[in-house]
Amino acid sequence: MPAPDPTPPALVPAESRNPFAARGFARWWLASLVAGTGVGIQSVTVPLFVRDRVAAGARAGAIATALMATALPGVVLALLGGAFADRIERRRILVRAYLAATVASCVYVALSGLGVASVWPVYPLAALVGSAGAFTSPARMSLLPLLVSRAQLQNGVILGTTLGFVAAHQLFGPTLAGLLADGFGLTVAFAAEVALLLAAACLFGGIRTGAPTPTGASVLADLREGVRYVRGEPALRGLLLLALVPGVFVIGPFAVTIALLVPDVLHAGDKWVGILWGCFGGGVVMGSLLLTLRPLPRRGLAVCIANAVVGCILIAYSRSSSIAASAAILVAWGIGASVFINYVIALLQERTEPSMIGRVMSMYSLAFFVAMPAGYAQAGAVTSAFGPQASLLSSGIAAAAIGLACLVGMRSVRALR
């Protein structure tokens, strides 16, 4: 008999969980960061542009209408954007959509630089930006699983989506916008947005993946197949329903009221509109970093709890009358939101078949596009009648109550790990 080999068998190295080890991820992350910063600037500049051009009593309604004009096209186009993401190479979609958003931002530069007093041009421009967003969101999110392995996906979502696009959208973009608008004027802030969106289009254009496999069916048939797929998956259906809550009762009211709350209640300058947005984004970054270091074992339960907790935090924010307290509360809100954002996206991507991921992520986008106009509308109406603090208080109570009901009733989501 041959002598036994004394050399121990080589250990199979564990697969890296670092998404930056995957080819293409670093460029996708940088492109997402740049795009999020550009889009985040507009979340501050457009409300300020509208606010300064209408009468005091009409400000809340005018701001809400501009925000609704951005969100409503997504209601119609989000599912179509997902179907296209499953049929067309994602980078082509991203390049064209961000170029369209760049054109809209160039018009904003002209309107602000020329001192145009009318606000009506904002509404078609906002609709153009919203239409582009209906295609960029599913294309960008469904591109990630093509660049990383399954072991890298959770950290890819946290580092790429949350610490990339979302952090830039909620932290870097709004903070930069507030500082630029307060220090140099809205025209400079809009010009920075143009440069960033154009850079994002160029960066996404350099990411090459294989073209999606043709389904052989029409776009409408693909859409129907995607809806049937989600209807047959209770956990996916529950996650998508939960995604409706933040837009209606948290993000929508916050976006409508912040440009009014800062000067009228907190008695601060316009830079604080951006800085307070940035405090929320900073909380998202902090929470996301903590999740990479210490993931929560029961992600579905954490998602359910996060909605209720964020509602309670919004109640506290509605009662604040100082900049320091508001900033601290918004950081806490961002930490809670990071749990929801990271885990909902990761759970959707992990539990979806690769051929369906564009359509499923477009439904996630659709949940926000449906919820945001409703949030803007209800916040605009309540703010016009009772003021920004009353709007935030009522929305926080509703969000907390719905979050608790979902915690009890959504067993399929609660059981996810």
| Amino acid at position 288, single letter | S
- 371: tokens are 């919820």
Mean pLDDT of 202-213: 78
Tokens 């009228």 found at: 264
Q: Model confidence over 219-231: pLDDT tens digits?
A: 667 667 777 887 7
* Residue 148 in this model has a pLDDT that exceeds 80: no
Q: What pLDDT is recorded for position 1?
A: 44
- 97: tokens are 């959509």
Q: What is the pTM of this model?
A: 0.67
Q: Model confidence over 327-351: pLDDT tens digits?
A: 999 999 888 888 888 888 888 878 7
Q: Mean pLDDT over all residues of the chain?
A: 82
pLDDT tier, 111 (very low <50, low <70, confident <90, very high otherwise): very high
Q: 195 vs 5, which has greater pLDDT?
A: 195
Mean pLDDT of 105-124: 90
- Among 70, 291, 281, 300, smallest CA distance to 170 is for 281
Mean pLDDT of 110-132: 88
CATH classification number, 21-414, choose in 3.40.50.720, 3.90.110.10, 1.20.1250.20, 3.90.1150.10: 1.20.1250.20
Mean pLDDT of 65-74: 80
Q: What pLDDT is recorded for position 10?
A: 41
User: Are 360 and 79 spatial neighbours (Cβ–Cβ below 8 Å)?
Assistant: no
Q: Model confidence over 359-370: pLDDT tens digits?
A: 777 778 777 777
Q: What pLDDT is recorded for position 108?
A: 92
Q: What pLDDT is recorded for position 195?
A: 93
Q: What pLDDT is recorded for position 190?
A: 92
Mean pLDDT of 280-300: 83
Q: What pLDDT is recorded for position 407?
A: 81
Q: Model confidence over 262-285: pLDDT tens digits?
A: 888 888 888 888 888 788 888 888
Instruction: Give percent above pLDDT 90 in the chain.
Output: 14
Q: What pLDDT is recorded for position 13?
A: 45
pLDDT tier, 2 (very low <50, low <70, confident <90, very high otherwise): very low
Mean pLDDT of 206-220: 67
Q: Model confidence over 162-207: pLDDT tens digits?
A: 667 777 877 788 888 888 988 898 999 999 999 999 999 999 888 8
* Residue 156 in this model has a pLDDT that exceeds 50: yes
- Among 254, 248, 410, smallest CA distance to 333 is for 254
